[in-house]
Amino acid sequence: MINSIDRPNVLTQFSETADNNERCLAPLPTIESPLFDVPIGSCDTHAHVVIHDPAHPMAPNRSYTPPSAPEASYLAMLNAMQISRGVLIQISVMGTDNSYMLAVLRNNPDRLRGVAVVDTGITDKELLEMHEAGVRGLRINTLFGGGINFDALEKLAPRVEELGWNMQFLMDARQLPELMPRMRALSCTCVIDHMGHMPMPVSLNAPGTQALFSLIKDNGFWVKLSGAYRMSEHYPEFSDVTPLAKALIDLAPDRMVWGSDWPHVAIKRMPNTGDMLNLLQTWAPDEKVRNKILVDNPASLYGF
């Protein structure tokens, strides 16, 4: 456990005005083995690939500079955790240049899907090409520089719905109460990243938490059970996240998915990727529910 003096502010340590040369830690070289039987067809629905290459320049307004996290390293991570499938999320530092992610998707058409970042000027032809490559969603980002924020929401949402994709939100759920009219008006499938990305401990009766619960219950929103280390004060157990994770699973077990968030960018203390998977043993001790989260739900959401 990190004491309150040493513990960085996990939500604001890399702000949108951070120095672009702020270098992220690399993932740990070893991965803890699964503590439960990982079912065939399991899916990590949230990870990134990154390449340092002039052909794929990083966004000048990015919030941080991640280490290289190429295709081979990503696939090795999935294999180490016995994960059959993966969903790549376009990382904010690459802006709207999805080309490297798309190349990795095309190299692994049966195993991988993707969530892209685009601006409102993208053509229908470009979106269809992304669909053919395996993209099944677009991401809205309010937390890190380089991504596309809420300004594009209403223009992109109808195009997402037409393609049968989902709209994914990287946001702090404490923002939700003021955004509820816009969020409730969306008719496309919607996914909230990192359980709402709120600092722990959080009251389950807090306005942001209740707004998140309402979107799940009343509007069919999905949630990614990921990023516990981004919210927690308790390394490495992240026990302060458990009440929220269990509440989300109890509320809608058919609309929860799990993600590792590898390579764990923009943090000051590196978690073990295997520990992120093993949290599910505590959050979803029932094997049938856990298998829904790992296999059935992501297969439905991302079209495997």
263-292 pLDDT, tens digit each = 999 899 999 999 999 999 999 999 999 999
When pLDDT is averaged across residues 59-80 and rounded to a whole number, the result is: 93
Using CA atoms, how far apart are residues 228 and 237, in angstroms rounded to an integer? 9
Summarize pLDDT for 152-168 with one digit per residue, the tens. 889 999 999 999 999 99
User: Does 194 have pLDDT greater than 60?
Assistant: yes
The H or E element spanning position 245 is helix 242-251
Is the domain 43-302 a CATH 3.20.20.140 member?
Answer: yes
Q: Report pLDDT for 21.
A: 54
Q: What single DSSP character describes residue 294?
A: I
pTM for the full model?
A: 0.91
Structure token digits, residue 271: 């978690």
User: Does 112 have pLDDT greater than 50?
Assistant: yes
Cβ-based neighbours of 228, under 8 Å, separated by 6 or more: 195, 238, 241, 245, 276, 279
When pLDDT is averaged across residues 247-268 and rounded to a whole number, the result is: 96
Cβ-based neighbours of 232, under 8 Å, separated by 6 or more: 10, 200, 238, 239, 240, 241
Share of the chain above pLDDT 70, in %: 92
User: Does 151 have pLDDT greater than 90?
Assistant: no
Do the beta carbons of residue 302 and residue 259 sit within 8 Å? Answer: no
User: Does 102 have pLDDT greater than 90?
Assistant: yes
Out of 44-48, 83-87, 95-99, 130-134, pick the least confident.
Answer: 95-99
Do the beta carbons of residue 73 and residue 287 sit within 8 Å? Answer: no
Q: Count of H helices and E strands in the chain?
A: 11, 8
> Which residue bears the tokens 């919030």?
63
Using CA atoms, how far apart are residues 168 and 183, in angstroms rounded to an integer? 12
Residue 100 confidence class, pLDDT cut points 50, 70, 90: very high
Task: Measure Cα distances from 114 to 2, 85, 97, 162, 168 in Å.
Answer: 34, 11, 13, 17, 11
User: Does 22 have pLDDT greater than 80?
Assistant: no
Residue type, 62: R
User: Does 147 have pLDDT greater than 90?
Assistant: no
When pLDDT is averaged across residues 177-181 and rounded to a whole number, the result is: 94
